[in-house]
């Protein structure tokens, strides 16, 4: 299904600012649907003088009229006249009589979506509310208040006051919804209505009386613990003066608040305050933060320990009396250092995925410096991109490439000047890596049997489930090809 942006731009009649406005409004589509107990549909004009649906929200507390997705569908003939009138007049238009939709009586309200203020106002689309009259029953006080709030917001949509671009665009996890709890404030910040869920949330924080008739900022001040720091935006939120969000913590309970100031043609007339008990969610978030910090610290300590081991191996290698022992310890030191680079990268982020291009650049410098003998001058370069890999792929691949580059420098270019090139090709299914040198090459079919070769085979075939192939290039040099399947890696 096409996104809202794709659908709007496809009509060729809207600007980028229009699309951003529609995105903001669609983000609150669920709130409007829940307050109105009705389906909410957003329409934009088309080049053939009609309209197409680009957004839809179903109510949580009432039966939907649209059981099938209508986003992308053209406007139905019975709604076109009403929607056109709202679009061109800039006025809210209600259906004169009940409209029948699939044998269900409905009432339709068309609201022009206006962006900007004053002389710069422009109508960018139409919002329709489709109320199911087949389930009509005596409305409760809560439903009446919710509908009044919805009507106020529809009026703000038609006057360009909603959505508010100064409001935060990315709510934290657990953002409050109308069904979680709603408080209605007058222009002075006094509570005129509090839903049962809202009252329960404040009761859990220690407020034992009724909210209605109370000043919300005084109630909040009463329940906040003394000498406890609180969000600086909280006074603006609880007085209904700013479209902002804040958390209240008291008696071990955390309640998230979101305020929507209500305006009548620019004049503030009150506010809606949505509230939700997010105690458990905040505990989970804190646990995740703690675990992330612990994992980073573990990787950091592992990196330090590996570097210590590498240093000890380097010292031991320098004190060795035989060339064979010195070479074995140097290789071990290099392998440990390569693993340390991966853990160093993991300790810098919150995820268990690493940018392998950054890791390999660091590994390549390490290998080129350590492996080259005084009589060998190796030029190394990396071509292509490895991309992001999970840690369980990054560590064995870094170690395997360390071995291959080391062999190319120590054996392929032994005692001479030459080049080592590492080429990476990646697609969603596989990662193909070629390590080439222009050294002495090797007889076709005669691959080394040393520890390094065994390590590479074990890592590529056993740990990564890939394949590896050695062969001599035409003329001179060796090329090693690694093919690793990536189909089991979740996309970024």
Residue 103 lies in a domain: yes
pLDDT at 205: 92
pLDDT in tens, 156-192: 999 999 998 887 765 556 689 999 999 999 999 999 9
Q: Are residues 12 and 153 in the same domain?
A: yes
Q: Which residue, 418, 437, 434, is CA-closest to 426?
A: 434
Crossing angle of helices 323-346 and 279-319, in 10° steps, is 160
Domain boundary among 246, 261, 277: 277
Higher-confidence position of 348 and 98: 98
Per-residue pLDDT for 371 more than 60?
A: no
Number of structural domains the chain divides into? 3
Q: Are residues 126 and 219 in the same domain?
A: no
Residue 165 lies in a domain: no
Q: Are residues 117 and 186 in the same domain?
A: no
Query: Taking residues 75-88, what's their average pLDDT?
Result: 94
CB 204 within 8 A of CB 253: yes
CA dist 453 and 265 (Å) reads 77
pLDDT above 70 covers what percent of the chain?
89
Domain boundary among 130, 159, 188: 159
Residue 330 lies in a domain: no
Residue 285 lies in a domain: no
Classify residue 141 as exposed, middle or buried by CB count within 10 Å of its CB (0-12, 13-18, 19+): exposed
For residue 190, the 8-state DSSP code is B
Q: Are residues 152 and 44 in the same domain?
A: yes
Domain of 370: which CATH number? 3.30.565.10
Q: Are residues 147 and 27 in the same domain?
A: yes
Q: Are residues 14 and 139 in the same domain?
A: yes
Residue 200 lies in a domain: yes
How far apart, in Å, are the Cα atoms of 89 and each of 18, 70, 85, 291? 18, 25, 6, 56
pLDDT in tens, 436-452: 888 777 655 456 666 77
Query: pTM of the predicted model, to two decimals?
Result: 0.66
CA dist 367 and 356 (Å) reads 16
How far apart, in Å, are the Cα atoms of 184 and each of 187, 188, 242, 259, 376? 10, 11, 14, 10, 79
Widest pairwise Cα distance in the chain: 101
Domain boundary among 242, 277, 312: 277
Q: Are strands 417-426 and 377-384 parallel, antiparallel or unpaired?
A: parallel
35: CB partners within 8 A, 6+ apart: 146, 147, 149, 150, 153, 178
CA dist 123 and 199 (Å) reads 39
pLDDT in tens, 44-57: 999 888 999 999 99
Q: Are residues 191 and 247 in the same domain?
A: yes
468: CB partners within 8 A, 6+ apart: 456, 457, 460, 461, 480, 481, 482, 483
Of 141-145, 174-178, 224-228, 345-349, the least confident: 345-349
Domain of 236: which CATH number? 3.30.450.20
For residue 286, the 8-state DSSP code is H
CA dist 181 and 197 (Å) reads 5
* Residue 56 host element (H or E): strand 51-57
pLDDT at 346: 66
Domain of 153: which CATH number? 3.30.450.280
Residue 452 lies in a domain: yes
Residue 313 lies in a domain: no
pLDDT in tens, 195-225: 999 999 999 999 989 999 999 999 998 898 8
Q: Are residues 396 and 479 in the same domain?
A: yes
Residue 382 lies in a domain: yes
Higher-confidence position of 171 and 246: 246
Q: Are residues 12 and 130 in the same domain?
A: yes
Q: How confident is the model at residue 474 (pLDDT cuts 50, 70, 90)?
A: low
Crossing angle of helices 323-346 and 391-407, in 10° steps, is 150
CA dist 309 and 336 (Å) reads 7
Q: Are residues 220 and 128 in the same domain?
A: no
Of 22-26, 77-81, 96-100, 384-388, the least confident: 96-100
Q: Are residues 148 and 189 in the same domain?
A: no
Q: How confident is the model at residue 475 (pLDDT cuts 50, 70, 90)?
A: low
CA dist 456 and 397 (Å) reads 9
pLDDT at 70: 92
pLDDT in tens, 20-51: 999 999 999 999 999 999 999 999 999 888 99
Of 240-249, 365-374, 385-394, the least confident: 365-374
Residues of the domain holding 155: 4-159
pLDDT at 113: 96
Q: Are residues 148 and 8 in the same domain?
A: yes
């Amino acid at each position: 299904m096409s996104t809202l942006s794709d659908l709007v731009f496809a009509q060729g009649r809207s600007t980028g600012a229009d699309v951003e406005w529609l995105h903001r409004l669609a983000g609150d589509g669920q709130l409007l649907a829940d307050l109105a107990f009705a389906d909410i549909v957003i329409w934009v004009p088309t080049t053939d003088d009609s309209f197409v649906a680009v957004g839809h929200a179903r109510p949580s507390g009432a039966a939907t009229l649209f059981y099938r997705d209508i986003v992308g569908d053209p406007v139905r003939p019975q709604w076109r006249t009403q929607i056109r009138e709202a679009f061109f007049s800039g006025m809210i238009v209600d259906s004169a009589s009940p409209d029948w939709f699939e044998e269900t009586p409905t009432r339709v309200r068309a609201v022009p979506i206006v962006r900007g203020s004053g002389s710069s106002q422009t109508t960018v689309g139409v919002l329709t509310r489709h109320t199911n009259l087949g389930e009509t029953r005596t409305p409760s006080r809560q439903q009446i208040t919710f509908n009044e709030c919805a009507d106020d917001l529809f009026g703000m949509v038609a006057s360009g006051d909603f959505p508010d671009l100064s409001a935060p665009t990315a709510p934290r996890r657990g953002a409050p919804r109308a069904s979680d709890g709603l408080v209605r404030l007058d222009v002075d910040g006094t509570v005129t209505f509090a839903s049962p869920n809202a009252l329960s949330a404040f009761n859990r924080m220690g407020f034992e009386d009724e909210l209605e008739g109370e000043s919300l900022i005084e109630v909040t001040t009463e329940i906040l613990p003394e000498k406890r720091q609180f969000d600086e935006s909280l006074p603006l939120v609880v007085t209904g003066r700013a479209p902002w969000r804040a958390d209240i913590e008291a008696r071990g309970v955390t309640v998230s608040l979101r305020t929507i100031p209500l305006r009548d043609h620019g004049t503030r007339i009150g506010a809606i305050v949505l509230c939700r008990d997010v105690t458990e969610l905040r505990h989970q978030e804190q646990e995740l933060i703690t675990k992330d910090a612990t994992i980073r610290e573990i990787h950091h300590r592992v990196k330090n320990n590996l570097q210590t081991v590498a240093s000890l191996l380097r010292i031991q290698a320098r004190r060795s009396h035989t060339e064979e022992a010195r070479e074995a310890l140097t290789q071990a030191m290099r392998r440990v250092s390569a693993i340390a680079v991966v853990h160093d990268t993991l300790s810098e982020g919150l995820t268990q995925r690493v940018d392998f291009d950054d890791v390999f650049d660091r590994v390549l410098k390490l290998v080129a410096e350590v492996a080259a003998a005084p009589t060998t001058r190796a030029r190394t370069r990396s071509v292509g991109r490895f991309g992001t890999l999970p840690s369980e792929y990054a560590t064995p691949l870094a170690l395997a490439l360390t071995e291959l580059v080391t062999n190319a420098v120590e054996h392929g270019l032994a005692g001479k000047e030459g080049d080592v090139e590492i080429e990476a090709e990646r697609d969603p299914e596989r990662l193909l890596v070629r390590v080439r040198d222009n050294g002495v090459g090797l007889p076709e079919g005669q691959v080394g049997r040393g520890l390094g070769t065994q390590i590479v085979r074990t890592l590529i075939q056993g740990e990564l489930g890939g394949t590896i192939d050695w062969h001599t290039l035409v003329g001179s040099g060796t090329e090693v090809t690694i093919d690793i399947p990536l189909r089991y890696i979740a996309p970024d």
